[in-house]
Amino acid sequence: MPSAERAAVAERPGGGWLFAPGVVVRKLLLALMLSLAVLLTLAAGELPAPTVTAAPDAGALADEGPPAAPDDEDGEDELEALEALEAAAVDPSPSVASDVALFGPVGQLPPGSLLRDRLDLALDHAGWSSQELPFELGRVGDVSTFDVSLVRDRYDIPVEMHPLVAQYVRFFQGPGRRWFRRWMSRSHRYIPLMQPILESKGLPRDTVYLAMIESGFNTQAKSWARAVGPWQFIAGTAKMFKLKEDFWVDERRDPVKATHAAADYLSLLHSTLGHWYLAWAGYNTGGGRVRMLIERSGSRDFWELSELKRGFAKETKHYVPKLIACALVARHPEAFGFSLDEFEPEGPFEFDEVPLTDPVDLEVLAVSAGTTVEALRELNPELKRWCTPPASAAAPYVLRIPKGRRATFDEAFARAAPQERLHFKIHRVAKGDTLSKIALRYRSAQEAILRMDGLSSARALKLGLDLMVPVPSAAALAAGSSDVALERQVARARRSGLSAARPQDEIPAGTQAGSGKAMASGTVTVETVGGKTRVTYGVARGDSLWTIARRFDVRVSELKAWNESLGGGRLRVGVGLVVWPGPKADLASSGAPPAPSPMAVAAAPKASASLPTPPRASPAPAVAKGARHTVSAGDSLWSIARAYGATVPQLKAWNRLASSRLKAGQVLVVSAP
C-alpha cells in the first residue's frame, strides 16, 4: 500500500483494514471513474458487423486452419478466458477494489446501466449458503475484515489477509465462480494424489493449491507462454527437472511425474529464498528475479518487494494473494458462500500399471482392459500418439489402466498382442511431400497415418513435421500378404470419419499458404464499376482463401463478405469470385476467364447489385450529400469511411453513434447531410 494511504489506515488485530471515511469517498469516486473509463475504452474499440458462417466442409479446397476447440474443453482456452476475466475484475491497486466492495454503490445506478452491469460482475452480491457449516467460524461476511487467525492453524502454509487476498476471494465468489466450481470438482481427483508426493518431498501439503491457481488441475492446460500441464512447466524448466518431452510423450502433462518435479523445484526455491511466499513468487517469475529484488531492497518481505518500482510484474504481485485466497476458499467453501451441491466431485485418480515391451494401439489396449480410449488417455495424459512409445523387455513402457483391471487385461492382451503389434517408421516432412506419396513410399495407407498422428486432413502437410507412418511387418512383406495390424488401423480410421485425399487435390509441402511462397494462379478479369476497380477471379486448383486474399491485397473476411458462396469458407475450382482489390493487388491476367459455373453465375450478379464497399478503394468516388449506406456483414466504420472518403468521427457525428458497433442491415449516412 502506498505510504500516503497508510496514514489513513488503521491496522486491525484480525488482519483486516479499516479506512477513514474521507479516503473511502475519494477512492469510491476513483473506482467509478476507472470503471467508466474501461467502458469507454471498450466502446471506442472498432468492431466489425458480425458475419455468420457455416461449418467448414472437409472436402473443400480452401482451409484456413482447424476450428478452435470450445472454451470449456480446451486447456489453452480455459486459461486465456479466466485470465481475461481476472484482468477485468481484479484491480491492480488492491485498496481501490476493496473499498468498492465494502461501499459499492451498485444499487444507486439505474437498472440496465452498463456501468451497473460491470460493477455487478465485479462485485458479486450472491446470498450466503444457509447450510450448516462444518466448523465454528460460521459464514464470513466482510472478507476484508475477516480475522484470518481463526483458521491460520488449519493450514501448513502461511496465510494472512491482505487487500489483494480479499479481492481474489470476491473474484472466486463472483466473476470467477464458474471456474472455481470446476477447479473444486477436479480437486477431488488430484489433491489426494498430489499431497502425499509433496509431503514425501518435505513440502507443506497445502502447496497443492499452487497447481490449482496454475491450471485448475487441468492436465491439458497450456498457457500463452507455452507452459504445459497441471504445474505449468515451460520446456527449459521441465528438462532441468527431468520431465521428458519428445515425439511420443510430454511428461509435463502427467499429474504424478509433474508433481514430483514441481516439488523438487519449489523445495530448491524455498531453500534459496527462505520464505514460501518468495518461493511461490519465484515459481511464477523465476528465482533469479526474486533474488535480484531482495539484493536491491535488502528485504525478504514479499509485500514490500511487491511495492518496489520496476519490481515484480503484475502477475507475480497477484500470484501469492491469489494462492492464499484459493486455499482459504477451497478448504472452507461454505464459509465463503459456496454450497457443496455446486460442485461435481470427480472420482479419484486410481490405477493399475502394466509393462509393455512394444508400441501398441490404444484401442487394442482399451479393449483388453475393458475400458475406453478416452479413459486410457485420462490416466496417461502424457501420451501424444494413438499408441504407446517404443519399448523393450529391458526398458518397458509402464501404462496405467483402471484400477482392478490388471487380471482381465493380462488375459485379453495375451490373445491380442501377436497380431496387433505395430510396425512403423518416422518420416520428417520435406518440401514437395504429400501424404499419398509418403504412404506409397512406405507401403502404408493415408488413413492409418492420419489416425496415428492425430491429423484431420490429408490436403496439406507442414514442413518439418515428424510423422509416425505405420508399415507392414517384415513377415507380411516377405509373404507378399497384407498386414493385419495395418488393415485394422485403416478400418478404425475410416470408422472415425478419416479418408484419403485424391493426389490431384493435395498441396505439396512447402507450397501451401503457410509457406509464404504460394500465390493464387487463377484467371483475372478486370472491369470498372461505379468508378471502382472490380475483379472477377477464377479459382484454380490449389488456391486457398489466404493466397487469393494476399494476391489482391485484401482480407479473407472481405472475400467472404463479397461472395455469399464462401459462407462456409469453401472454394471450388472454376468458381468466379468478386474481389475489390487493394492498392498492392496483382491484377495480371493468368489466362482466359473461367467457364461460368452455377455458383459463379449466382454469386457475381448479387455482388454487383449490392456493391459491397471495398475498404481500400482509391480514389474515393464523389458522394452526394446525405448519401446512405446499408451495412453488410464484415463492414466496419473504418472500411465504410475509407470507401466514401469520410472519417470515422464524421460517421459517428452524422449518425449520432455512441460506439463503433454495427449491425448488418443498419443504414448509415455516409456524407454530410
pLDDT in tens, 534-592: 888 888 877 788 788 888 888 888 888 888 777 666 677 777 888 999 888 888 754 33
Report d(CA 505, CA 503) in Å as an integer. Answer: 5
**Confidence category of residue 374, pLDDT binned at 50, 70, 90:** very high
* Strand 667-669 relative to strand 351-356, pairing: unpaired
Report d(CA 318, CA 290) in Å as an integer. Answer: 15
Half-sphere exposure of 499 (CA within 13 A, CB side): 6
Cell for 563?
461472395
Q: Which of 494, 353, 489, 480 is nearest to 420 (CA)?
A: 489
Among 237-246, 385-394, 651-660, the range scoring the smallest mean pLDDT is 651-660
Report d(CA 492, CA 499) in Å as an integer. Answer: 11
Report d(CA 536, CA 372) in Å as an integer. Answer: 52
CB 344 within 8 A of CB 472: no
pLDDT at 63 > cutoff 60: no
Among 9-13, 281-285, 289-293, 620-624, the range scoring the smallest mean pLDDT is 9-13
Angle at which helices 287-297 and 276-285 pack, to 10 degrees? Answer: 120
pLDDT at 375 > cutoff 90: yes
Half-sphere exposure of 366 (CA within 13 A, CB side): 15
The residue to which cell 464458474 is assigned: 178
- Each residue of 323-358: pLDDT tens digit? 999 999 999 898 888 998 999 999 999 999 999 998
CB 426 within 8 A of CB 385: no
Helix (H, G, I), strand (E, B) or coil at 233: strand
The residue to which cell 488482519 is assigned: 15
Q: Which of 210, 121, 137 is nearest to 173 (CA)?
A: 121
Provide the CA 317 distance to its chain's centre, in angstroms: 23
**Confidence category of residue 611, pLDDT binned at 50, 70, 90:** very low
Report d(CA 498, CA 236) in Å as an integer. Answer: 36
Q: What does the mean pLDDT of the chain come to?
A: 76
pLDDT at 32 > cutoff 70: no
Residues 6+ apart with CB under 8 A from 400: 351, 352, 353, 376, 379, 380
- Each residue of 122-180: pLDDT tens digit? 433 333 232 333 334 446 667 777 888 888 889 999 999 899 999 999 999 988 899 99
Q: What is the pLDDT of residue 104?
A: 35
Half-sphere exposure of 9 (CA within 13 A, CB side): 18
The residue to which cell 468508378 is assigned: 531
pLDDT at 105 > cutoff 50: no
Q: Is 514 left (phi over 0), alpha (psi -120 to 50) or beta?
A: alpha
Backbone φ, ψ for residue 488 (5° rounding): -70, -35
CA angle 203, 133, 187 (to 5 degrees): 40
Taking CB atoms within 8 Å and a gap of at least 24, the contacts of 448-454 are 448/486, 448/489, 448/490, 448/493, 450/493, 450/498, 451/386, 451/489, 451/492, 451/493, 451/496, 451/498, 452/385, 452/386, 452/387, 452/424, 452/489, 453/385, 454/384, 454/385, 454/386
* pTM for the predicted model, two decimal places: 0.61
Q: Which of 558, 515, 517 is nearest to 537 (CA)?
A: 558
Report d(CA 263, CA 260) in Å as an integer. Answer: 5
CB 43 within 8 A of CB 659: yes
CB 572 within 8 A of CB 57: no
Which one has a higher pLDDT value, 379 or 88?
Answer: 379
Q: Which of 530, 524, 591 is nearest to 551 (CA)?
A: 524
Q: What is the pLDDT of residue 225?
A: 82
Report d(CA 160, CA 303) in Å as an integer. Answer: 11
Q: What is the pLDDT of residue 633?
A: 62
Q: What is the DSSP letter of 336?
A: G
What is the SS3 string spanning 499-562? CCCCHHHCECCCCCHHHCCCCCCCEEEEEEECCEEEEEEECCCCCCHHHHHHHCCCCHHHHHHH
Peptide bond into 619 cis (omega under 30): yes
Which letter, b or e, does each residue of 311-346 get, where b requires 16 or more Cβ atoms within 10 Å of its Cβ?
bbeeebbbbbbbbbbbbbbbbbbbbbbbeeeebeee
Residues 6+ apart with CB under 8 A from 29: none
Provide the CA 360 distance to its chain's centre, in angstroms: 31
Report d(CA 241, CA 243) in Å as an integer. Answer: 6
The residue to which cell 507378399 is assigned: 480
Provide mean pLDDT across the span 274-282.
Answer: 96
Cell for 386?
494413438
pLDDT at 672 > cutoff 80: no
Backbone φ, ψ for residue 544 (5° rounding): -135, 165
**Confidence category of residue 657, pLDDT binned at 50, 70, 90:** confident
Backbone φ, ψ for residue 350 (5° rounding): -120, 150
Q: Which of 556, 580, 581 is nearest to 570 (CA)?
A: 556
Report d(CA 82, CA 479) in Å as an integer. Answer: 58
- Each residue of 295-308: pLDDT tens digit? 999 999 999 999 99
pLDDT at 368 > cutoff 60: yes
**Confidence category of residue 75, pLDDT binned at 50, 70, 90:** low
10 Å CB burial of residue 142 (0-12, 13-18, 19+) is exposed
**Confidence category of residue 651, pLDDT binned at 50, 70, 90:** confident
**Confidence category of residue 258, pLDDT binned at 50, 70, 90:** very high
Q: How many residues does the chain have?
A: 673
Report d(CA 235, CA 165) in Å as an integer. Answer: 31
**Confidence category of residue 422, pLDDT binned at 50, 70, 90:** confident
Provide mean pLDDT across the span 232-256.
Answer: 96
Q: What is the pLDDT of residue 140?
A: 67
CB 556 within 8 A of CB 45: no
Half-sphere exposure of 608 (CA within 13 A, CB side): 13
Percent of the chain with pLDDT over 70: 71
Q: What is the pLDDT of residue 252?
A: 97
Among 181-190, 393-402, 553-562, the range scoring the smallest mean pLDDT is 553-562
Highest mean pLDDT among 52-66, 80-94, 458-472: 458-472
